[in-house]
């Protein structure tokens, strides 16, 4: 028993000693020695990813490009037109000439033959004309013909060393396209202004008998008349003609004669020195209650409309391929055609519809007073 008891006591003492022995403190934390610096290449920038080719990106890129190339192509073709009206002093002009008025406008060299197109109101009433090039040199000028209905005129100058403009295609133009107006506003020298096409086929302004204007907010001022409206490739799409303004200066509402109409007029002026206009022989007014068309108020006896059986009270709603929304549409469509042209008119009267065929006559000469 004593041996067993001694063994138990010894075992317990040993266990106590083990549990109560002072525990070793944890080894002190050792900071690692600073490593020798090793150059680390900078993180490579992520490779630029090209923006996806979208219409929006293409538009942004186009807007960031200068228009200098367009100006370089078009500017040499835009000239200054000087006009004057003078009368002789004394009998047989022995006293020289007295200057009554003088004006300044712009013109565009349209071909290699020296043909320059400008506005009729730039040369109207003048008996002395000259054209100056962008370098300031003066060329003698001959008036080939005028067309007051479209406000266009054709001049001829010596073609030596000239650079005709490139003619554009108006069918590819749209509202919102960027355009440049080139001319000599207020006589300050050749000037370029930039804007957009605000509208196409603008009519009813009351400026010309024939109206089918390109409207633009590119700044146009007196002196720009007859100058060029070009696209961003420097191609001619219109002849700057007029503005709407309360104060006489540019207010962002300018009008240009479209190049397709100008080309027809130019061809006729080159061939005949004048433009023969079609004639229907009716007086028209706007129908009541907002109805579209041209209400026939009177028919001239013996006129083409009379021969075709058109009566007062008929409403003309179609003229060939043209839809007639207002009387100005009918007038413009008629004047754009030559005498002898056969055309079908669509008429409405008291709710009934009919069509008649008309052969246009020659428009009688009209006296027109133009105040510009």
Q: How far is CA 15 from CA 19, 167, 278, 280, 364, in A?
A: 6, 113, 131, 133, 138
**pLDDT tens digit at each of 372 positions of the chain:** 343 344 444 444 444 444 444 444 444 443 333 333 434 444 444 444 455 666 666 665 555 578 999 999 999 999 999 999 888 776 766 667 777 778 999 999 999 999 999 999 999 989 899 999 999 899 989 999 999 999 999 999 998 889 999 999 999 999 999 999 999 999 999 999 999 999 999 988 888 888 889 999 999 999 999 999 999 999 999 999 998 887 777 788 999 999 999 999 999 999 888 898 899 999 999 998 878 999 999 999 999 999 999 999 999 999 998 899 989 889 888 988 889 999 999 999 988 999 999 999 988 765 443 333
| Residues 221-243 as b or e (16 or more Cβ within 10 Å = b) | bbbbbbbbbbbeebbbbbbbbbb
Name the residue among 74, 5, 333, 54 with its Cα closest to residue 227. Answer: 74
Q: Where are the beta strands (DSSP E) in the chain?
A: 78-88, 97-109, 115-118, 128-132, 138-147, 152-157, 178-183, 191-202, 213-216, 228-230, 236-243, 254-258, 278-279, 282-285, 294-299, 315-319, 322-323, 342-349, 352-359, 361-362
Contacts of 19 (CB under 8 A, 6+ apart): none
Q: Is 351 exposed, middle or buried (0-12, 13-18, 19+ CB in 10 A)?
A: exposed
pLDDT value of position 62: 56
Q: How far apart are the first and last CA of the chain?
A: 144
Matching fold, domains 71-88+97-157 and 170-272: yes
pLDDT value of position 14: 45
CATH 3.40.190.10 applies to domain 278-362: no
Between strands 254-258 and 213-216, the pairing is antiparallel
Four-way CATH pick for 170-272: 3.40.50.720, 3.30.9.10, 2.40.10.10, 1.10.150.80: 2.40.10.10
What CATH topology corresponds to 71-88+97-157? Thrombin, subunit H (2.40.10)
Name the residue among 323, 356, 363 with its Cα closest to residue 342. Answer: 356
Q: Which residues pair with 85 in a beta bridge?
A: 101
Cα 21 to Cα 85: distance, rounded to the nearest angstrom? 129
Contact 245, 258 (CB under 8 A): no
Contact 202, 325 (CB under 8 A): no
Q: Residue length, the chain?
A: 372
Contact 125, 369 (CB under 8 A): no
Name the residue among 214, 130, 218, 141 with its Cα closest to residue 182. Answer: 218
Name the residue among 118, 104, 120, 135 with its Cα closest to residue 221. Answer: 104
pLDDT value of position 41: 46
CA atoms within 13 A on the CB side of 90: 5
Residue 152: Cβ within 10 Å count: 28
Tell me the domain boundaries of the chain.
Answer: 71-88+97-157, 170-272, 278-362
Q: Give the single-character DSSP code of 167.
A: B
Name the residue among 203, 200, 205, 204 with its Cα closest to residue 176. Answer: 200
Report, as residue numbers or ranges, the catalytic residues: 121, 151, 225
Cα 71 to Cα 340: distance, rounded to the nearest angstrom? 42
Cα 330 to Cα 280: distance, rounded to the nearest angstrom? 10
Q: Give the single-character DSSP code of 290.
A: T
């Amino acid at each position: 028993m004593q041996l067993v008891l001694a063994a138990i006591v010894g075992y317990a003492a040993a266990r106590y000693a083990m549990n109560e022995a002072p525990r070793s403190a944890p080894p002190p934390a050792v900071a690692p020695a600073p490593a020798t610096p090793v150059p680390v290449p900078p993180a490579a920038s992520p490779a630029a990813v090209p923006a996806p080719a979208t219409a929006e990106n293409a538009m942004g890129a186009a807007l960031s490009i200068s228009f200098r190339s367009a100006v370089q192509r078009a500017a040499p073709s835009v000239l200054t037109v000087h006009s004057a009206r003078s009368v002789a002093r004394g009998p047989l002009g022995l006293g020289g000439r007295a200057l009554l008025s003088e004006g300044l406008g712009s013109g565009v060299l349209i071909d290699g033959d020296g043909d320059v197109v400008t506005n009729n109101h730039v040369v109207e009433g003048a008996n002395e004309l000259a054209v100056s090039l962008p370098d300031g040199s003066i060329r003698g000028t001959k008036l080939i013909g005028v067309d007051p209905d479209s406000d266009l005129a054709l001049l001829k100058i010596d073609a030596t060393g000239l650079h005709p403009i490139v003619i554009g295609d108006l069918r590819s133009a749209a509202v919102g396209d960027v355009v440049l107006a080139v001319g000599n506003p207020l006589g300050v020298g050749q000037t370029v202004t930039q804007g957009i096409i605000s509208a196409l086929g603008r009519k009813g302004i009351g400026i010309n008998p024939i109206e089918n204007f390109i409207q633009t907010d590119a700044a146009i001022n007196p002196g720009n008349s007859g100058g060029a409206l070009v696209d961003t490739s420097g191609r001619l799409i219109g002849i700057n003609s007029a503005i709407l303004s309360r104060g006489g200066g540019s207010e962002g509402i300018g009008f240009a004669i479209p190049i397709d109409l100008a080309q027809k007029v130019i061809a006729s002026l080159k061939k005949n020195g004048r433009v023969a206009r079609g004639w229907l022989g009716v007086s028209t007014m706007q129908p009541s209650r907002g109805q579209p068309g041209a209400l026939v108020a009177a028919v001239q006896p013996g006129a083409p409309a009379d021969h075709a059986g058109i009566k007062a009270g008929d409403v003309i709603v179609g003229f060939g391929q043209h839809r007639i929304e207002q009387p100005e549409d009918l007038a413009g469509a008629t004047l754009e055609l030559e005498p002898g042209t056969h055309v079908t008119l669509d008429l409405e009267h008291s709710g009934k519809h009919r069509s008649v065929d008309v052969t246009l006559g020659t428009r009688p000469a009209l006296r027109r007073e133009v105040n510009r």
